Chain A
């Protein structure tokens, strides 16, 4: 949040509201002017966990904790997540294909050959680039749509329940159905094609060639904006009634109220929605598979499709495991940076947003 002048009024409002709401603000009015007011709210536990000195002092709640009670959960974690992950990594070093699958433990160990092939002879980077870029575009466009829908249905009006239910339809429909319906509509000579021709435009093919990328982005947005909408709605519910009241008392109009009072509350849920949305899109296999079929047109040879073809059409399980590991690394790095930057993994997010 910037420190521009119009903000100060609403900041007062927010602060007043917070005072009314409960926990006392520990940060003085003049410090942290660059931070949004809501973010400066310290949760009491935070002070104990991250003292300025750097050396951790164990608070009373951290002493003598029965950590052994975590063992069942820990074991499950290891079995469900770590073991398959390690198996996957191990597989990526094997020459595992249809000929060796039956006794896969005995499949020849070929070191990094799969990785070399994945990097040099497959369309892996092309696939990663397509997956990440399409996911990013779809998520960024879906975001304002979802937020706008959430804000529009925030206040009660007649028929709101109906509108909210209608908004959820694309999210509730199985991916398979969504893709089938859109594939039918995008056929050459089908309804969308004809609509373009009414306006004298010849868009070309939607399900083959360069347009496929944008077809995919479009359908993905259609299918996934309700997810952003849901999380934004949840975020809006968390805005205390008093905050609205206080802002209104200070004379903030709708845009300023939205921009400086409501949006800061949404920051957490939206950052979360962004990352979950991105990952969902990157992992989405059904949509491109049903829309475009196998083999996919070059412009939508996404990562999941590529791995699917390698695994289940060519039966190169070792190679596809190597591809999965490489793409895991490629995607995990920006993800890690993102998580650091938006501090989604901070303890303070756990409490009050």
Chain B
């Protein structure tokens, strides 16, 4: 395999590790009741590195470990991963070898994939009671914890709902008193707000981002009543999807309300452009942008609003029970099946999802609480109104192991269209063929889903 690839090497090395470690060890969970006594034990927790607040994260970890020790007597050991890729590798290695961290912090979109491996504990009622019951959490945040209410593996820990930021000064100058609530209105407003001569554009869009684009397509499709996956059928060939793509590309090619340079922008670059005051709206952002914006020239001149919930060409939101103001995004905590410290694991989850701890976490890192009380208490904080509302109106992406593939297919349509986009015209025929390509691949992935 020398001439193969690193990726396959990694996969094989993983397999070899398993073969050599003689299949790990059988797992047995401790059987203590009441307060967990973890003296002499160590709980291993895997979390992502917070690159924006590295120092604060270290502090948070040692504080949490101290509290945990006080409550249970056990040692809390944090392990970190720096990229989604590393996270995947860690999970795969642990899944195969049956040993590794006891608790994982997973991104929400990865939870269905994790579920499909069967390596994580489906929470029973008694498990839920150990962590304060399901009612403790923002109900929308439970939307992607499992395929149905009785098979949940993920305990919501943090929410990162997506909203749009707007520049109050520019909107006022254009005589717009309220941010748009439908995509059509948003385009109309953006046209008013665009003045290429001044280098001012209606929206900042990150076309080159590795995640953003599919969220628009998913959102607009769901709002038009198409959840993209219906049981085992992919519905990317539905006209709503094409409308979504046309709208998304049209902002640049037809409406001309975004900076042409944005074909090369990632989300953080779009944010930087918005923060410099050149754009009226910045879409698909989260609470993580607060520190940047508060330090920028825009300080006091910006706020968040819900992103439009009425699909292009529609008059009302057709997303169903829960309007799709944002994809359900954030972190879930899952407990490994092989863990020998499951009681300790739940004690840890109980600790970090408590109201005070959640508010403390929000204060340090900006992620919204998944704890319902904590979330409610934030309503009136500056910039928080739209965020908390979006957290409650978030909708989960389809709960299928095929989703990561489908997400990639949706994104791929945008990636391959960028040269056309840059030249000013994404032709109907090439868009059609890219979408039907994505549909085929998505359907294949769904066919494999078990």
Residues of A with Cβ closer than 8 Å to B? 79, 81, 83-85, 87-88, 91, 97-99, 101-102, 104, 187-190, 204-205, 207-210, 279, 282-283, 285, 293-298, 303-304, 307-315, 317, 320-321, 323-325, 327-328, 331-332, 335
Residues 396-442 of B contacting A (Cβ, < 8 Å): 401, 404-405, 408, 411-412, 415-416, 418-419, 422-423
Given pairs A88-B1, A98-B401, A314-B408, 10 additional interface contacts (CB within 8 A): A79-B20, A104-B96, A187-B261, A205-B419, A208-B208, A208-B422, A297-B418, A304-B7, A307-B8, A311-B8
Q: Nearest chain-B residue to A308 (Cβ)?
A: B7
Q: Mark B128-142, 1 if CB is under 8 A from A, else 0.
A: 000000000000000
Cβ of B424 to closest chain A Cβ, rounded Å: 12
Contact A83 B264 (CB under 8 A): no
Known contacts A98-B113, A98-B401; decide if A91 and B15 are in contact (CB<8 Å).
yes
Write out the residue numbers on chain A whose beta carbons fall within 8 Å of the beta carbon of B448: 97, 99
CB-nearest residue of chain A relative to B98? A102
Question: Is B12 interfacial (CB-CB < 8 Å)?
Answer: yes
A290 to B89, CA, bound (A): 18
B19 at the binding interface (Cβ < 8 Å):
yes
The reply to whether the CB of B51 lies closer than 8 angstroms to some CB of chain A is no
Asked if A320 and B422 sit within 8 Å, CB to CB, the answer is no
Using CB atoms, name the residue of chain B closest to A289.
B85
With contacts A189-B264, A205-B264 taken as known, whether A84 is within 8 angstroms of B12 at the C-beta atoms is: yes
Determine if A295 and B7 form an interchain contact, defined as CB atoms under 8 angstroms apart.
no
Q: Which residue of A lies closest to B414 (CB)?
A: A295
Q: A83-B16, A102-B96, A298-B416 are in contact. Are A320 and B11 (CB under 8 A)?
A: yes
| Per-residue A-contact encoding for B168-212, CB less than 8 Å = 1, 0 else | 000000000000000000000000000000000000000010100
Chain B residues lying within 8 Å of A283, measured Cβ to Cβ, are: 3-6
A287 to chain B, nearest CB (A): 12
CB-nearest residue of chain A relative to B418? Answer: A208
The minimal Cβ–Cβ distance linking B21 to chain A, given in whole angstroms, is: 13
Interface-facing stretch out of B63-71, B115-123, B355-363: B115-123
Q: Is B384 among interface residues, defined by CB-CB distance under 8 A?
A: no
Q: Are B15 and A84 in contact (CB under 8 A)?
A: yes
Asked whether A188 lies within 8 Å of B12 as measured between CB atoms, the reply is no
Which one, A84, A294, A324, A335, contacts B5 given CB within 8 A?
Answer: A324
Given that A101-B95, A101-B117, A295-B415 are contacting pairs, would A204 and B15 also be in contact in the complex, using a CB cutoff of 8 Å?
Answer: no
Q: Give the distance in Å from the alpha carbon of A268 to the alpha carbon of B168 in the complex.
A: 68
Chain A residue contacts of B408, Cβ below 8 A? 294-295, 309, 313-314
Closest to A104 in B: B96
Given contacts A99-B117, A101-B96, A102-B95, contact A308 B419 (CB under 8 A): no
Q: Which residue of A lies closest to B450 (CB)?
A: A99
Contacts of A101 in B (CB 8 A): 92, 95-96, 117
For the complex of A and B, the 6 pairs showing the least CB-CB separation, nearest first, are: A209-B419, A324-B4, A188-B264, A324-B8, A304-B5, A308-B7
Range of interface residues on B (Cβ < 8 Å): 35 or more
A83 touches B5 (CB 8 A): no
On whether the beta carbons of A205 and B415 are closer than 8 Å, the reply is: no
CA distance A333 to B281 in the complex (A): 56
* B residues adjacent to A (C-beta < 8 A): 1-13, 15-16, 18-20, 85, 88-89, 92, 95-96, 113, 116-119, 208, 210, 260-261, 263-264, 269, 401, 404-405, 408, 411-412, 415-416, 418-419, 422-423, 445, 448-450
Give Cα distance in the complex from A88 to B401, angstroms. Answer: 24
- A205 to chain B: which residues have CB within 8 Å? 263-264, 418-419, 422
Other-chain contact of A335, B3, B19, B405 (Cβ < 8 Å): B3
Residues of A within 8 A of B13 (CB): 84
- CB-based contact A204/B117 at 8 Å: no
A307-B7 contact, Cβ under 8 Å, with A101-B96, A101-B117, A295-B415 = yes
Known A-B contacts A88-B12, A98-B113, A321-B12; the reply to A208 vs B4 at CB < 8 A is no
CB-based nearest B residue for A327: B4
Contact at A312–B85, with CB atoms within 8 Å? yes
Q: Which residues of A contact B20 (CB under 8 A)?
A: 79
Which of B16, B269, B411 makes the CB contact (< 8 A) with A87? B16
Chain A residues whose CB sits within 8 angstroms of the CB of B4 once the complex forms: 88, 283, 307, 324-325, 327-328
Closest beta carbon of chain A to B197's beta carbon, Å:
17
Complex contacts, B11 vs chain A, CB 8 Å? 88, 91, 311, 317, 320-321
Which residue in chain A gives the minimum CB-CB distance to B337?
A: A102
Q: Evaluate contact between A99 and B92: CB separation under 8 angstroms.
A: no
Q: How far is the CA of A332 from the CA of B2 in the complex (A)?
A: 10
A312 to B423, CA, bound (A): 33
Given contacts A98-B113, A204-B419, contact A85 B1 (CB under 8 A): yes
In the complex, which residues of chain B have a beta carbon less than 8 angstroms from the beta carbon of A315? 113, 401, 404
Across the interface, do B116 and A83 meet the contact criterion of CB distance under 8 Å? no
Q: Which residues of B contact A285 (CB under 8 A)?
A: 5-7
**Which residues of the partner chain A approach B117 to less than 8 Å between Cβ atoms?**
98-99, 101-102
CB contacts (< 8 Å) of B411 on chain A: these are: 295
- Bound complex: CA of A190 vs CA of B208, how far in Å? 15
- Chain A min CB distance to B360 (Å): 34
Kindly state the separation between the CA atoms of A281 and B8 in the bound complex, as whole angstroms: 16
CA distance A324 to B411 in the complex (A): 25
Docked Cα-Cα span, A230 to B256, in Å, equals 51
- Would A102 and B119 be within 8 Å (CB), given that A189-B261, A314-B405 are in contact? yes
Task: Say yes or no: A282 contacts B3, CB within 8 Å.
Answer: yes
The CA of A189 and the CA of B270, in the complex, are separated in Å by 13
Interface centre among A79, A102, A303 (most CB of B within 10 A): A102
With a CB–CB cut-off of 8 A, which chain B residues contact A99?
116-117, 401, 448-450
CB <8 Å contact, A279 and B3: yes
Q: Write 15 A-B pairs (CB below 8 A) sorted by A numbering.
A: A84-B12, A98-B116, A98-B117, A98-B401, A99-B449, A104-B18, A187-B264, A190-B264, A205-B418, A210-B419, A279-B2, A294-B408, A307-B8, A308-B7, A324-B5
Smallest CB-CB separation from A89: which chain B residue? B1
Chain A residue contacts of B415, Cβ below 8 A:
208, 293, 295-297
Residue contact A84 to B1, C-beta cutoff 8 Å: yes
Measured in the bound complex, the distance between the Cα atoms of B260 and A277 in whole Å is 38
- Rounded to whole Å, the gap between the CB of A337 and the closest CB of chain B is 14
Most chain A CB within 10 A, of B210, B263, B401, is at B263
Q: How many angstroms between the C-alpha atoms of A187 and B92 in the bound complex? A: 34
CB-defined contacts of B412 to chain A, threshold 8 Å: 295
Q: How far is the CA of A307 from the CA of B6 in the complex (A)?
A: 9
Of listed A189, A208, A297, A323, residue having the most chain B CB within 10 A: A208
Q: Of B12, B210, B405, which contacts A294 at CB under 8 A?
A: B210
B210–chain A nearest beta-carbon distance, Å:
5
What residues of A have a CB within 8 angstroms of the CB of B18 in the complex? 104
Min distance, Cβ A51 to any Cβ of chain B, angstroms: 33
Cα–Cα distance between A228 and B404 once the two chains are bound (Å): 41
Complex contact B422–A204 (CB within 8 A) = yes
